[in-house]
Structure 1
Amino acid sequence: MIRLSFLLPIIMCAIWWWFLTNRGYTLKEGLRGFLFIIAFNTIIIGFFVIMLFVTNNQ
């Protein structure tokens, strides 16, 4: 599952881009949202990677 984690920010950014275009906003106006999405996903993916190393029982 962790190997597919790169899809989460791509999907979330695509949804955000779709929302912006439907509401008539430009990508420049929605840049802050993209940054929040990337930051949020970096924290979540980082947490899961750390948990993989912490719980590795070898």
Structure 2
Amino acid sequence: MTRFLFLIPLVLSVLWFIYLRVNGWTLRQGLRGFIYILIFSSFVAIVYTLLLWLTGR
């Protein structure tokens, strides 16, 4: 399962990009959303790393 974790930011970014295009917004206007996606994905990666480290896998 951990090998598919890269899909989280990829899918979220594509969905955010589609949302921006459908509503007629530019990428510049939606930059904050991409930053939030990056922060959320980093948090998930850190949690999974800590869990793997704590369980000794």
- Measured against the shorter chain, the TM-score band is over 0.9
Q: Which structure has the higher relative contact order (CA within 8 Å, separation 6+)?
A: 1
Displacement of 1:56 in angstroms is 1.3
Q: Percent identity?
A: 33
Match of 1:22 in 2: 22
Unpaired segments ≥5 residues, structure 2: none
Q: TM-score, normalised by structure 1?
A: 0.93
Alpha-carbon distance between aligned partners in 1 of 2:11 and 2:39, rounded to the nearest angstrom: 14
Give, in whole Å, the separation in 1 of the partners of 2:42 and 2:5: 10
1:1-58 alignment, distance < 5 Å: 1-56=1-56
Aligned residues: 57
Deviates more, 1:48-57 or 1:2-11: 48-57
Separation in structure 1 between the aligned mates of residue 30 and residue 56 of structure 2, nearest angstrom: 39
TM-score, normalised to structure 2's length? 0.94
Structure 1 gaps of 5+ residues are none
Give the CA RMSD over aligned residues.
1.0
